[in-house]
Chains A and B, each alone.
Chain A
């Protein structure tokens, strides 16, 4: 029987979580605000598209995925006050005008014959970027101090990876000839260009790109993550 008086460490031997992380509270909150903004735009547009697509299976998937993104937006909405942002609307903003332009373009297709464009925008451009940004955040933030964000990121990533696969399979099932393949590729390139101009869904430094700068021209904090990690190491 285990000795109840025997001291044990706070971290089990297999628990390798560490304190250092790439983001301080303010940076994490800023990113979370951008996540909420883009998740809102995504669930709105998926909901709006439901009525415009004639393919029954696509219609039902869009309806289902619409809720997933609304729920992610709600997760971020609830996380913001925990990150010292008592007015969540203040940080529920796009990182820049380029991302607004991207969303406007993404939302453009309406006609019933444009299901390929709708799906490509959501599942070949936006969702992969969302997954990348969330993965970057999850892998770089402090596994101890920012655990609630990591948990929410895990839920969102699980949905997004499943939905990405769903969407990609729908696209593959709709592409029937070279013209449609070109249509999909051209639309993807157009949207990807806009998203690259925005620097990603959280703006420059979304993935901690080398040398990424903030809007003020400063070195993006996420790029300085290694140095910061050293500083906060106990």
Chain B
């Protein structure tokens, strides 16, 4: 078996469909179709928010959006499992630059178990919510971050950036479950949130430990995290504003080893990403109007 297993070879059965990230995010079942607070923006529903609004009970399409998000979570768990597994295998054990310390590998193996449980929870929860594996498409962005040849960059890209996003997502879903009076959803998200805090903390601890005497490597790792964080602010979908569909979970991020400055930075990146997304949308709209 080779080391560094490419994302396009991830093994799936015939139910699963691969798509790029934008196509997946623009799945009409996951977009806000209601208009809602954006009703003043005439034309297509949810135009002003880019079709993305918080999952609230006043959205008639909230169940579909929640199912789509749940499926996204499930695929994220599968890829997180695969990524952690690969980190166990891809590196020799040691403290060299291209090696992974024994204890880090043990943590990754523990994460395998946790992610496997999250997959199990997600499948059961998906059934409960009325969807099943393969009903929505899959993009492989999480696993791709887990293919970095430097184990520290894997930790910042996956454990701190993407598992950090998972903290925000689970926190949002737990809140949605509470508002919707769905104790099963709230219960499951609460448990998964606890594990994610552990995984993000693993990333924070290992980043500091491994790069303690190597500021250049730490800088590169944090830069990689910034890139991933910005990319997966998903055009501002994750942020601190009231209309952010996914709320930045400050308290849980603190528990996971993020400093206030680091959380502020992620909030800033999300705002930046949101502004860029809106600009791109306006341009696309102008271009479409000009064509008409």
Contacts and interface: CB of A to CB of B under 8 A. Distances in A.
B202 to A, nearest CB: 13
A229 interface: no
B1 A49 contact: yes
A48 B143 CA distance: 13
Interface of A: 40, 43-56, 59-64, 66-71, 73-74, 77, 107-110, 112
Contact of B85 (A49, A55, A61, A74): A49
Q: Chain A at the B interface: mostly helix, strand, loop or mixed?
A: helix
A50 B85 contact: yes
Given A50-B82, A50-B85, A63-B81, 16 more contacts: A40-B105, A44-B88, A45-B89, A46-B88, A47-B85, A48-B1, A53-B11, A54-B12, A59-B81, A60-B81, A61-B116, A67-B110, A71-B106, A77-B102, A110-B1, A112-B11
Contacts of B12: 54
B15 to A, nearest CB: 9
B10 A51 contact: yes
A48 B116 contact: no
Given A59-B78, A66-B112, A77-B102, A48 B119 contact: no
A47 B86 contact: yes
B84 interface: yes
Contact of A60 (B2, B109, B119): B119
B243 interface: no
Contacts of B143: 51
A220 B109 CA distance: 35
Top 4 A-B pairs ranked by shortest CB distance? A48-B89, A70-B109, A47-B88, A47-B85
Interface in B118-134: 119-120, 133
B91 to A, nearest CB: 9
Nearest to A109: B1
A56 B13 contact: yes
Nearest to A110: B1
B195 to A, nearest CB: 13
Given A47-B88, A51-B10, A110 B106 contact: no
B191 interface: no
B133 A74 contact: no
Contacts of B85: 46-51, 62-63, 66
Given A52-B11, A73-B106, A67 B133 contact: no
B93 interface: yes
Contacts of B200: none
Contacts of A110: 1-2
A60 B133 CA distance: 14
B77 to A, nearest CB: 10
A74 B84 CA distance: 17
Nearest to A58: B11
Interface in B39-88: 78, 81-88
